[in-house]
Amino acid sequence: MTGSAAGTVARFAADWERCLRDIGREPPQVSDYVPDGTRVRLAVLAELVRIDLRRRWELDGVGKRIAEYRTEFPEVERCPQLVDLVCEEYLARRRHDGLELTEFLAEYPELAGAVRERVAESAAETVVALDEVGPGQRIDEFDLRTELGGGELGRVFLARQRSMQRLVAVRLSNGGGAPHTMAQLDHPHIVRVFDQRVVGAEVRLVYMQYLPGGTAAEVLARRRAGSTDEGGALLLRAVDSAMEAKGDIRPADSPVRAEIAGLSWPETVAWIGRRLADALDYAYRNGVVHLAIKPSNVLFTAEGIPKLADFTLHDSGYRAADSATKHDCLPYRSPEQLAVDLGPAVAPPDTRSDIYSLGALLWEMLTGTVPFAADTDDPATALEHRRGGIDPAALARIPADCPAALRRVLLTCLEPDPQRRWPDGATLAQQLELCLDPRARDLVDPPERSPWSRLRRWRIPLVALAILVPNALASVYNVQHNDKLIHHTQTLAAQHQFHIYTAVVNGLLFPIGAALLIYLGRYLLAVTHGLRHGKRYDPEVLRRTRTDAIHLGDRTVLVIFSLWLLSGLAFPIVLHGTAETVTAADYLHFVALHVVSGAIAVTYPFFLVNCYMIRCIYPMFLSHGEIRAEDVRRLQGLRRRSAVYLIVAASIPLLAVLGATLLSTGDLARIIVAVRVLCIASIAAFIAVYILFRVLKQDIDALERVLAPAAR
């Protein structure tokens, strides 16, 4: 069976599960799922009918008979599984209302002999006890081939499903009656559960997607036995070993395997965790939590892609673990799960408990040991260890090449207080994605001796210098230029009045600008200070602060431009208050000079402020929770605007030359040296700005990669 056909069946089964959980939800219709005109239509239709029939008879008043399906889908008549489907109807109706075989066969006289024979075969093949099961046997419609694993919770076999002609994994466990509701979730990193049934009175059967690459338990065994220097190749060797044991062939030319082979071991752990966290988020959004994460429940495909298995829906809510589950899961159980084991009155765990368990498993994969002592079976002792946090000995086992970002992410997963953990799988997946991008992770968690980390402490003086220095230079150039072009023709009284005007304007506008920028950056000042001292903020405050960090450069430009504009507009008013005659050329020179000075005053602060914000300040917030899609759009907008300001920076020497061409020969001689100095300085500044532009673009690209990663 093709992957698309199997996916169709899995989606149909999952929709039925949602129907059974949600009272009042309409059952899915077979006709909406059966493929049109494909070679596998009949096989898919048979499986859809089988699932639909069984589920309908679990509800009151919606049961259907095979005769009705034959009317709706005439091709069912020639289906090779017709007799099996009729037997399925008999078993479903017998469970529902105790129907006798003789009474049932009267409804299908043409199939009576075949159905009676098949029912007799099934009765003879029914296994009385789980320990009687073995390869070579047939259970229901499954031919058992190889035992894949087992334990106190059941046994798992590789089997061929006759009706669908496909390989599946079949889990058999003791206990008759109604089976647990299995979460049939459709996600690339969750093992697909196709369906389940009770065989006879004693054996519960669940059949699911077969994955040949083994489990995380085998990866852990190889991690403990070998060195992590081989990186992702360690995972691939564990997968290949599991496949060889089952007689499967390693896939050739796999881009996924090539990607894994190029990762370090800490990056491989983050790569696995990112996908499992995505699976937990999908399950949680569909109303399912796992609560039993352990190495044997993480399976791998032939390419090394991890998938999470055994999402079981407990209709009565969370239950304390039984002895088998405690033994297998105790090293990975969260404090709140252990608290429920000790006192069921405690509030039931939620998805943050799964975050904790996944963090414990990833920690073990990273270091080779669980983060807490594993030599106890006592929940009370284990709970005490959890609440004590990670001890120094466990921290010392972190590999030297482990990025600081991954260390931080896992420690947050393992916080004893659920409120301090990552709130959901999506946030954790994003944080682990960050660990896979070297540039982005060094922005968020700079190396210990990185200068960028030290520069975070100097945010106020550095931003102030980035704004004041270009504006001071522009102001000095403006004043000197005015002295040489305009003031030399004025009386001393007029010059004195203009100097007073300049002092008043600078004395007013600079403080006003500073006050406006402090107000616009008030969240940045308060939140960055609080985060450095361990204070926690709600998501809305962090969102506002991230927005301010991205927009501070633009707001700086807006404030500076407005102040220069006010200064330029005030000049004619001041001159008209004197007895001096001001020519149109004087006005033109003054406006042109303000354009050049204004370009200097806004362009260089834009790049200096934004480079500092994006490299040092904005990444601080990415380590404290959810990042939304709007952040990506804002970063993309900043990248576009930076290209515009780069053009402005390149135009400054051109504007200076253009302004000089408007001067008379005498005026040009007075300022020619200043124009030359400005042009040379502007060219040198443009080179520096271009470097800043490239750095800013690369930083934004790196952040965008982890904030909006491609689907994997």
Q: Do 655 and 610 form a contact (C-beta atoms < 8 A)?
A: no
Task: Indicate the pLDDT class of residue 494, thresholds 50, 70 and 90.
Answer: low
pLDDT of residue 54: 83
Note whether 153 and 235 are same-domain residues: no
Domain span including residue 417: 216-436
Residue 285: inside a domain, yes or no?
Answer: yes
- Residue 627, judged by CB atoms within 10 A of its CB (0-12, 13-18, 19+), counts as buried
Better-scored residue on pLDDT, 176 or 207 = 207
In DSSP terms, 166 is beta-bridged to 161
Q: How many domains does the chain have?
A: 4
Task: Indicate the pLDDT class of residue 277, thresholds 50, 70 and 90.
Answer: very high
Nearest to 677 by CA among 692, 657, 705, 650: 657
- Region 254-262: mean pLDDT is 94
- Region 254-263: mean pLDDT is 94
Note whether 523 and 662 are same-domain residues: yes
Q: Do 158 and 167 form a contact (C-beta atoms < 8 A)?
A: yes
Q: Using the 3D structure, point to which of 208, 243, 267 is the last residue of a domain.
A: 208
pLDDT at 338 over 60: yes
Question: Taking the chain, what is the end-to-end CA distance rounded to the nearest angstrom?
Answer: 24
Task: Indicate the pLDDT class of residue 478, thresholds 50, 70 and 90.
Answer: confident
pLDDT of residue 712: 40
pLDDT of residue 317: 47
- Determine what percent of the chain falls in helix, strand and coil, rounding each to the nearest 5: 65, 10, 30
Please work out, in degrees rounded to the nearest 5, the angle formed at the alpha carbon of residue 322 by the alpha carbons of 319 and 324.
Answer: 140
Better-scored residue on pLDDT, 583 or 143 = 143
pLDDT at 310 over 90: no
Residue 444: inside a domain, yes or no?
Answer: no
Residue 325, Cβ neighbours under 10 Å: how many?
A: 18
Q: Do 648 and 599 form a contact (C-beta atoms < 8 A)?
A: yes
Residue 571: inside a domain, yes or no?
Answer: yes
Note whether 692 and 562 are same-domain residues: yes
- Region 664-676: mean pLDDT is 70
pLDDT of residue 581: 56
pLDDT at 153 over 70: no
We report the CATH number of the domain holding residue 337 as: 1.10.510.10
Residue entry with tokens 């393992």: 414
Note whether 199 and 275 are same-domain residues: no
pLDDT at 255 over 90: yes
Better-scored residue on pLDDT, 594 or 90 = 90
Nearest to 699 by CA among 644, 655, 642: 642
Nearest to 689 by CA among 606, 615, 589, 633: 606
pLDDT at 314 over 70: no
Better-scored residue on pLDDT, 5 or 407 = 407
pLDDT at 499 over 90: no
pLDDT of residue 711: 38
In DSSP terms, 199 is beta-bridged to 203
pLDDT at 316 over 50: no
Better-scored residue on pLDDT, 637 or 374 = 637
Percent of the chain with pLDDT over 70: 83
Note whether 590 and 473 are same-domain residues: yes
What gap in Å lies between CA 693 and CA 639, rounded to an integer? 9
What gap in Å lies between CA 622 and CA 145, rounded to an integer? 49
CA-CA distances (angstroms) from residue 343 to 319, 322, 346, 591? 11, 14, 6, 78
Strands lying side by side in the sheet with 203-208: 138-139, 142-151, 154-161, 166-174, 203-208, 193-199
Which residue type, as a one-letter code, is found at position 423? P
Note whether 260 and 385 are same-domain residues: yes
Note whether 538 and 684 are same-domain residues: yes
Q: Do 390 and 339 form a contact (C-beta atoms < 8 A)?
A: no
Please work out, in degrees rounded to the nearest 5, the angle formed at the alpha carbon of residue 143 by the alpha carbons of 136 and 209.
Answer: 125
Note whether 108 and 156 are same-domain residues: no
Residue 712: inside a domain, yes or no?
Answer: no
Note whether 220 and 354 are same-domain residues: yes
What gap in Å lies between CA 11 and CA 618, rounded to an integer? 41
Q: Using the 3D structure, point to which of 189, 208, 227 is the last residue of a domain.
A: 208
In DSSP terms, 150 is beta-bridged to 155
Note whether 390 and 475 are same-domain residues: no
Q: Do 360 and 188 form a contact (C-beta atoms < 8 A)?
A: no
Task: Indicate the pLDDT class of residue 588, thresholds 50, 70 and 90.
Answer: low
Model confidence, pTM:
0.78
Residue 590: inside a domain, yes or no?
Answer: yes
pLDDT of residue 228: 80
pLDDT of residue 175: 60
Tokens matching residue 531:
């985060």
pLDDT of residue 503: 76
Residue 313, Cβ neighbours under 10 Å: how many?
A: 15
Residue 443: inside a domain, yes or no?
Answer: no
> Model confidence over 20-53: pLDDT tens digits?
767 677 888 888 888 876 667 888 888 888 888 8
pLDDT of residue 179: 47
Task: Indicate the pLDDT class of residue 566, thresholds 50, 70 and 90.
Answer: confident
pLDDT at 262 over 80: yes
Percent of the chain with pLDDT over 90: 33
Residue entry with tokens 């943050």: 352
What gap in Å lies between CA 353 and CA 374, rounded to an integer? 18
Q: Do 108 and 114 form a contact (C-beta atoms < 8 A)?
A: no
Note whether 121 and 134 are same-domain residues: no
Residue 441: inside a domain, yes or no?
Answer: no
- φ/ψ (deg, to 5) at 624: -125, 25
DSSP H stretches of helix in 148-286: 216-225, 232-246, 255-261, 265-285
Please work out, in degrees rounded to the nearest 5, the angle formed at the alpha carbon of residue 322 by the alpha carbons of 58 and 13.
Answer: 30
Q: Do 656 and 477 form a contact (C-beta atoms < 8 A)?
A: no
Task: Indicate the pLDDT class of residue 12, thresholds 50, 70 and 90.
Answer: confident
Which residue type, as a one-letter code, is found at position 686? F
What gap in Å lies between CA 479 and CA 473, rounded to an integer? 10
> Model confidence over 452-463: pLDDT tens digits?
888 888 989 999
Tokens matching residue 54:
């069984």
Tokens matching residue 241:
């070993």
Q: HSE of 258 in the Cβ direction (CA atoms, 13 Å)?
A: 4
Average pLDDT, the chain: 83
> Model confidence over 88-130: pLDDT tens digits?
888 888 877 777 888 888 888 888 888 888 777 665 555 546 6
DSSP 200-218: TTTEEEEEE---TT-BHHH
| Radius of gyration, CA atoms only, the chain | 36
- Region 640-649: mean pLDDT is 93
Among 10-19, 497-506, 571-580, 615-624, which is the least confidently predicted range? 571-580
What gap in Å lies between CA 194 and CA 238, rounded to an integer? 27
Better-scored residue on pLDDT, 39 or 619 = 619
> Model confidence over 53-89: pLDDT tens digits?
888 887 877 889 998 998 888 888 888 888 888 888 8
> Angle, nearest 10°, between helix axes 425-435 and 265-285?
160
- φ/ψ (deg, to 5) at 213: -85, 10
Note whether 35 and 116 are same-domain residues: yes
Residue 27: inside a domain, yes or no?
Answer: yes
Task: Indicate the pLDDT class of residue 710, thresholds 50, 70 and 90.
Answer: very low
Tokens matching residue 673:
């040296």
Q: Using the 3D structure, point to which of 190, 208, 226 is the last residue of a domain.
A: 208
Sign of CA dihedral 544, 549, 552, 553: negative
